Each structure stands twice: as C-alpha cells, then as structure tokens.
Chain A
Amino acid sequence: MSLLPWTIYFTLGGALLALAAGARSAAAARWLALATALAGWGATLGAAVRFTPAPGLQTLVDVAWIPELGVRYHLAADGISLTLVVLTGLAATAGVLFSWNVTERTGEYFALYLLLIAGVYGVFLSADALLLFAFYELAIAPKYFLIAIWGSTRREYGAMKLVLYSFAGSALVLAGLLWARAASGAGFGLADLAAGPYTAGQQTGMFALVFLGFAVLAGLFPFHTWAPTGHVAAPTAASMLLAGVVMKLGAYGCLRVAMPLFPAGLAFWQPVIAWLAVAGILYAGAVALVQDDFKFVIGYSSVSHMGFVLLGLAAANAGAVGGAVLQMFSHGVIAGLLFAVVGRMVYDRTHTRRLRDLRAMPMHRLLPFAALTFVLAGLASMGLPGFSGFPAELLILVGAWKTSPVWALAAAAGVALAAAFTLRAIQLAFFGRTGGAAAGAPRQSLPPITWPERAGALLLVGATLLIGLRPDLLLGWIGPSLQSPLFQAALKGGAP
C-alpha cells in the first residue's frame, strides 16, 4: 500500500522530465511519458496485490503541513480509492498510447497530461479535505491547455466552458468545506470534519454546496452541458481521460466527502439527486440518439452513464453505492475505448466525424480493427452481460429498487436508450455500406492501425472483459470499504 503515494510523485516527476525532454525530441517525450504512466500504474497494481480489504481508510502518509490552517498532508486509501487509482493508471497508459501521434509541442502535451494525472491520483488518495481540493484544482489548468492547444471543434470555447464549470463546482465545494470547518472547529481532515458536530440545518446546507459542487464535475443534469462540448473539443487522449477519469473525480468527491460528512443532508436531498440523475440518464440518452457528430454521441453517452453512477450514490445503500463505484471503473474504461476509436482511429484518418459522411464509406472494411473495437466497446457501453457495465448496472438497479422502485424503472429505460443510440452509431459509422452496396463504394484505403493503438485497445478491452466476468475482483475491495463507520452512518440497508 505504501507504493501508492509514489503514483503521484512518479507522475509529477515524469511531467517535468517530459517537458524538458520535449525540447530535445518528441520521441523522447513520448517514451518518457509511457514509462511514467506504466510506473504509476505498476505502483497501483503492486499495491493492489498486497491489499487486504478492511473497512476504513488505511493511512499512507500523515504529516503536518499548514498547522495554522488546520491542514495536514494526509494520504490514505481504502478499496474504493484503490479501484479508482488502478483505473487512473490504466486510463493514463492507454491515453499515452493513443497520443503517440501528437507531433506539435509534444513535450508540453505530455507534461500537461501527466500533471493532470498526478492531480487525479492525488484526489483519490487524499484523506484531508483541503488536500483533496488542492489536487482537484491542480488538474484545472492542464485541462484548459490540453483542450485549447491540441483540441479540435470549437476548442477555445469548449475549453473555457469546461474549466469554468469545473471551477464553479470547486468554488461551491470550497464554500461548503470552509463553512464545515468553521462550524466544526477542528482541522480539515476528513475524519475531523465528519466528527462535526453540525445541526441538521447546517448539514443540509453544507451537503448541498459540497455535493452540488462535485456533482457538476460528475455531469449531473442540468449542469452537464460543459461535458459534451468540452469532450468533443478535446484531443482524443484528453477526452479519454476527461470522460473516463476526471468525471469520476466528481462522483468520488460526492462519495468520499459529501456523503459521509453530512448524512442528514444526504437524507434530505436524496430524492432530488435521484430524480436529476434519472433525468440525466434519459435526457442525455435521447439527445445522443439524434446526433450527427460521432463524438457528440459518445459525449452524451458519458453523461448518461454518469447518471447511473449518481443514481447509485443517491440510492444510498451498500449495494447501490458498490455498483456505482464499479460503474465508475467500468465506464472509465469504456469511455476511453469509445473516444479512442472515434478520435484516434477514425477521425485522425478520415478527418470527419459526421455520421452522414462515415455512412458512405465501408468503414468496417477499411478499418476492421476499429470496427471490432468499437463494436466491443459499444456492447460494453450498452451494458451487455459479459462486459463490466452489466454487473455495475445490475447492482445499481437492485440498489435503486430497494430505495425507490420507480427510479429503477426509469433507469431501465435508460438502458434501452443506450442500446438504441449505441447501435445507431455502430451501424452508421462502420456498417453503413455492407453487402452488395459495399462493392460499389469507391476504392480507398486508410492508414493502418498502429501498434500503440492496438496495444491501448487491447488493454482496455481486456479490462472491461475481465471485470465483466469477474466483478468480484473489484467488489471484493469495494464492499468492505463501505462497511466503515463513516459510510455506515450515511448508507442505509445491509449487504447487497
């Protein structure tokens, strides 16, 4: 477990080195970035192998930092953090592989990318609320620049919107945390803040601020509009990371900070959150069904899937929350795959993302690997059993049913919607001209799929299949973590 803080340090170091190396050669920067990402991921896997699940956070580092402000440098992890840092390592490695073709300002690109990853690792490992917040904000500037410099459609607008929404969310969180600390009087450690004591009215207000602030980043309807625009504007690897991991920061914040600290607030706001989550699932799914830009379909599907996560959190029982964390992992991998295919494999070669244009090309013949990968990713996204999305959605539905069956029904409609829009995208993009019609298409060829793309795709597909068939690998970590006293106070309901 003590390997885990090294994820942050390796990645930060790697970022600086990549910046320096980039001045020399782009290839040096790439390989350095890959090595750093693998090192970080390796550290998480190493920690995972030795992990013994237990309720409560296991401290990794706890040093006084700013005693005058009550802030400590306190890193800790439990099964939930472990799941998410493993995801981060995986997504980072895949992202670096899918960025292999970045030629402009390569060193700066990888430096910013790794800085973002370091911030994400930090959030998942922090046990002090302000430290968590600081890492969360650390990730903001790299996001802006990654999108504004290397992005595509309306990148400056998309970058600014994404960053301002994130920052607004974090402003809300800061307000809530400061208020909580002022009321509780102790330091900023999560355990200190949880001890309170707060009146019910205070908890309602604090929960609203902190949860909403984090939920904006998680894409809660109707504060989700930054997500499709931002993800579409971002370059491929950034989209993979943003949709795959950074949105999970928001959900993690809700789970780690808002829910255990202010259980009375959770009880008060629960129905509102659940209905907003359901609305997000359905609305985003419906919008995805009519998009012409391939990447927008994926962007909206991310919002829809995050709606499931938020629904699971709102249902507030052990099974649903476990399902939500599993869905965080699952969607992280799947979103990465989807964006990788759309952005890197298809767009970089065909220079179009419009389904109308792609339909005219026999894409499944021109890029069979991309077609296969996207089909697998699409099936996973639909929640097809065998892939990681299914057990996650099942647990969320079961958990939601326990709290309020209507939510589960509405969410099920979302599953059907997801099938519809995913299938439509698959059909239009890759199988637009099949059978006899394909013979009549103009002869073209596209550049072949490179080895980094294959490697990245295999990693991600393997991950979703592994967890789809053996979700207990992760649930074995997550379940005990939810038995900790802090969570038990917030969640109702027993074992799944």
Chain B
Amino acid sequence: MNGDYAALARALAPETALVAGALAVLGLDLMWLRRRPAETRLRTAVGVAALAVAVAVMLVLAVGRAGVVAGGALQVDTLALAVRLGVLVLALGALGIATGAPIPRHPVEYVAVMLFAAAGLTLMAAANQLLLAFLAFELASLSLYVLTGFDKARPESAEAALKYFLFGGMAAAFFLFGLSLLYGLTGSIAFPAAGAVLAAPHSSPLAAVALVMVLVAFGFKVAAAPFHLWAPDVYQGAPAPTAAFIASASKLAGYGLFARLLWAGTTPGAEGGVPGWLPVVAVLAGVSLLLGNLVALAQTDVRRLLAYSAIAHAGALLLGVMTAGRAGFGPLVYYAATYGLASLGAFGVIAAVERGGGCRRLEDLAGLYRRSPLLAGCLTVFVLSLAGIPPLAGFFGKFAVFAAALRFDGPTGPAGGLALLAIALTVVALYYYLVILKQALVAAPAPHNGGRIAVPQPAALTLAVTAGLIVLLGVFPSLVLGWF
C-alpha cells in the first residue's frame, strides 16, 4: 500500500461508522442502562445501532464510486456501492426485526456483534485484494457464529453455532489455502491477477486446485450444494434475527465478493471467451437447484423449509454469477438484494410469531390471518416474492437472471439449460411456498395456539417497510438495475 491513507479512510468510512456504532452501543449500555429491563435495553441499542447504520448509508452514498483505492486494496465501484447499500439496508431490517423477536439474554451485545458482522460484510463488498477479502470474510463469519449461538435458552442454538463454526472454519481454511496457492501462482494478492488464474484452471494443476478451494469457500458462504449442510441446522437453531441476517445480508455480500473475484480477470460485458470455472460453477448451480427444491418438499419445519429454499435460490443466483460477465452485475445484485429482503421479512414474521407463542412447524402458522392480519399480509408478500410472482421483486430478479442466462449461450448451452431447469423447478417451489401460505391464510387458527399476536411497533414498521420495498422494487426494477 502506498500512502494515501486519507483515501483509504474515506473509503472505509462506512465500516468505521459501524464499528463506532457498535462500540457506542456497548458503552452506552454499560454506563447507563444496566439496570433497565431487557426490552428497553434492546430498543435503545437498536435505536443507536440504526443510527449508526443510517450514518454508514450516508457515507456510502457520499463516497460513491471512488474507484480503485489504496493501491488496489479496495475497489469502490458500482458493485461495491450497491452491495454495501444492500447489506446496510438489510442490517437495518434485521435490527428492526430483533425488536419483535424473543429477547436474547444479552441484547446489547447481540446488537453490537450484529454491527460487527455488518462491517465485515460491507468490507467484503469492496475488497479487491486476497488478504483483505479473507479478513472481511472472517470478520463477518466469526460474528455470525457468535450471533447464531446467542439463544442460550435453546440447545439447538448452541448446536447450530457449533456446526456453523466447524463448517465455516473448514471453509475458511480451504479459502486461505486456495488464496495462498493463488499468490504462489501469480506473485500478487490483487484480484485481477488471481481472477485471471481462476479463469484458466487448465493452465496448471495448482490453478485447478486453487479454483476448487476458492469455490468451496464460495459455496459455503452462499449455501450452495454440496456445501450447504450447515444451512438447515443454522436456520433452524439460530435466533430469528440472526437467521434473517444470514439469509439476506451474508449471502448478498458473499455473492458480491466472489463474483468480483471470479470475474476480476476479464472485462465485464465483453463478448470474450468463457472463463474456465464456468462448468464447475454450473454443476454447483444445478445440484443446488435440484437438491434445494426437491428436499424442501419434504419439510415440516418452517425454518428448514426456508433453508432448503435458500439453497435453491443459491443455485439460481450462481446462474447470475455465471452470466455476470456479459450481462453485468445488475441482475445478480438485484436478485440477491430482493431475495434478501424477502427472506429477511419471512424470518421477521417467524420471529414475531415465536414471540407470540412459538413457531416450529408449519402448523404453528395456522390462522395467521386472524391472529395478526399485518403479519399475514406481509408474509404473503414475502413468500410470493420468493416464489417469483409478479409484480413483486422476486419475479423480476429471477427474470433478469434467466434472461441473461438464455442470452449467454442460448437454450442449449450450460447457462441456458440451467435457466430452463430453474424455470421448471419454480413450479415445484410454488408448491411448497403455497403450503406456507395455506397455513397462514387458509387454515383456521389452532386451538392451542390461536391467540392474537401483538407485534411491537418497530418490528411492525420494519416488516411493512420491507414489504413495501419489495413491491416498489418489483414495480420499478430500474431503481436498482439502472445503476448498472
């Protein structure tokens, strides 16, 4: 790195704001709020954290498209801008949901660690060097492991955290090993060089190994098969806001980082050759699509169902990665961001229902239309967006990606063929999404679990705004796509 720390500091201002916010939250609570009830502490912490996130958002917008910074350590381009904004909005959402979820035992620390995770994720979005990428990756992951195990009242939470940690640790090890191989092959830790090697895995056996290792980490981060095994347990065991955050922001940042890495060697949009990693990623995408959709059919637990549907969506998003070279990052980011919003919202509803009486199996959602019309309405928007029904954003996300895929190499090429497979599987997906909605909107409330659910105002506001965003981005996709 040569000089220009000022530029670096400016580029990292959002992360700084987040970390400062986390420290402020901790400090505030330590000094003045120790004796207050947990609810107050949580709300105050969330409030301060939300403020920090808002500041971070403004800083991101102020920094804008700064370009390559600090000698190539960071690349603050449109991709980074969009992903950072997306992560921050999703973090805001997760914080809002946290107010509606069952309160964890250490609410303030929870909020603080969430901010740390957010910082790691936004850094991932802009990283342009191998080491920095790994650092951001680990910061985010470690924070997320902690957040997963936060619910001390349930053993599933600890189990989930442990599983996540073990998997994640393994994936991190693979990642590091792969990065070191890349360094060895290129002599540089910059993304463009590494990307060029990844795009030509036939050039040497080490390159192929490096590719595989990098893809292991990628697959782990975004829960693509066959690296998905942690997802169902984590989604099921973690506290709802954590699960929401993992499902949304972590995925978005992961796609941002790895898409940038894989395409760093080539110029985006060029009608050049097909990068060498494409077939491998295609296989991952295909396996994810099939496994995610088909296994989801058998699920009876709401959260596990969402986990497997996440795996299925990961497959479709990998398709977006594959086509980003020609179609740009627009479709990928749009799909990932709106998918994140919908997942966030769905978990938010689950969180509220848990607070109101428990939500393990699908039947626990029965009669939601009567127990809380707001939750039922929002859930409908979220689930239908996940299913890909217009005019919600989920449809246009899928559409943008599939359109790019079919343009990439026609219906017979790997991308096109996968797109057709994905389209066919959307029918399967609709089935299990409708099963959720059937419980919520059609089934009568269960006798043992049929009381009204009171949703705290901040959470209700968050859910409503998220639903509104999904509708807005669905009717006007150009708001996001236009940036690219």
Contacts and interface: CB of A to CB of B under 8 A. Distances in A.
A148 B438 CA distance: 8
A141 B427 contact: no
Interface stretch (A179-187, A233-241, A432-440): A179-187
Contacts of A178: 402-403, 406, 419
A138 B406 contact: no
Contact of A182 (B407, B426, B438): B407
Interface string B354-387: 0000000000000001000000000010001000
B389 A141 contact: yes
A69 B389 contact: no
A149 B478 contact: no
B410 A138 contact: no
Interface in A94-144: 105, 108, 130, 133-135, 137-138, 140-141, 144
Count chain B CB atoms within 10 A of each CB in A66, A69, A133 and give the residue with the most: A69
Interface string A357-399: 0000000000000000000000000000000000000000000
B441 A160 contact: no
Given A160-B431, A160-B434, A167-B430, A140 B402 contact: no
A182 B478 contact: no
A433 to B, nearest CB: 39
B419 A134 contact: no
B426 A171 contact: yes
Interface string A155-191: 0100010011001100100110011011100000000
Nearest to A180: B406
B237 to A, nearest CB: 31
A141 to B, nearest CB: 6
B406 A149 contact: no
Contact of B442 (A67, A140, A145, A174): A145
Interface string B425-455: 0110011001001100110000000000000
B427 A138 contact: no
Contacts of A168: 427
B403 A164 contact: no
Nearest to B410: A182
A381 B481 CA distance: 50
Contacts of B437: 144-145
Given A145-B441, A174-B402, A137 B389 contact: yes
Given A68-B484, A69-B481, A179-B406, A156 B442 contact: yes
A65 interface: yes
Nearest to B398: A174
Interface string A201-219: 0000100000000000000
A137 B399 CA distance: 13
Count chain B CB atoms within 10 A of each CB in A140, A167, A181 and give the residue with the most: A167
Contacts of B434: 144, 160, 163
A230 to B, nearest CB: 14
A167 B431 CA distance: 10
B400 interface: yes
Nearest to B403: A178
Nearest to B334: A68
Contacts of B369: 105, 108
A69 B430 contact: no
A69 B481 CA distance: 9
Size category of the binding interface on chain A:
20 to 34
Contact of B430 (A130, A145, A163, A183): A163
Given A130-B399, A160-B434, A183 B478 contact: no
Interface in A409-459: none
Given A67-B478, A178-B402, A140 B420 contact: no
A148 B391 CA distance: 22
A148 to B, nearest CB: 5
A141 B477 CA distance: 21
B5 to A, nearest CB: 37
A317 B366 CA distance: 53
Contact of A171 (B391, B423, B442): B423
The SS class assigned to the B binding surface is helix
B403 to A, nearest CB: 5
Contacts of B406: 178-179, 181-182
A164 B430 CA distance: 7
A183 B410 contact: yes
A450 to B, nearest CB: 28
Contact of A69 (B427, B438, B441, B477): B477
Contacts of A148: 438, 441-442
Contacts of A108: 369
Contact of B441 (A135, A138, A149): A149
B482 to A, nearest CB: 7
A133 B399 CA distance: 11
Count chain B CB atoms within 10 A of each CB in A67, A144, A164, A175 and give the residue with the most: A175
B427 A171 contact: yes
A457 to B, nearest CB: 30
A181 B400 CA distance: 12
Contacts of A133: 390
Contacts of B431: 160, 164
Contact of B389 (A67, A138, A145, A205): A138
A68 B481 contact: yes
Contact of A66 (B389, B423, B478): B478
Contacts of B384: 141
Contacts of B403: 69, 178, 181-182
A138 B478 contact: no
A107 to B, nearest CB: 10
Nearest to A108: B369
A137 B478 contact: no
Count chain A CB atoms within 10 A of each CB in B402, B430, B438 and give the residue with the most: B430
B480 to A, nearest CB: 9
A68 B478 contact: yes
Given A134-B390, A137-B389, A179-B411, A164 B442 contact: no
Contacts of A174: 399, 402, 423
Nearest to B409: A182
Contacts of A164: 427, 430-431
B137 interface: no
Contacts of A167: 426-427, 430
Contacts of A145: 437, 441-442
Nearest to B383: A141
9 contacts: A105-B369, A145-B437, A148-B438, A149-B441, A160-B431, A174-B399, A179-B416, A181-B406, A182-B407
A-B interface, 7 closest residue pairs, ranked by CB to CB distance from nearest: A134-B390, A68-B481, A182-B406, A182-B407, A178-B406, A168-B427, A148-B442
Interface of B: 330, 369, 380, 384, 389-391, 395-396, 399-400, 402-403, 406-407, 410-411, 416, 419-420, 423-424, 426-427, 430-431, 434, 437-438, 441-442, 477-478, 481-482, 484
Given A65-B478, A182-B403, 14 more contacts: A68-B330, A130-B399, A133-B390, A141-B384, A141-B389, A145-B437, A148-B442, A164-B430, A164-B431, A167-B427, A174-B399, A178-B406, A182-B406, A205-B411
Interface of A: 65-69, 105, 108, 130, 133-135, 137-138, 140-141, 144-145, 148-149, 156, 160, 163-164, 167-168, 171, 174-175, 178-179, 181-183, 205
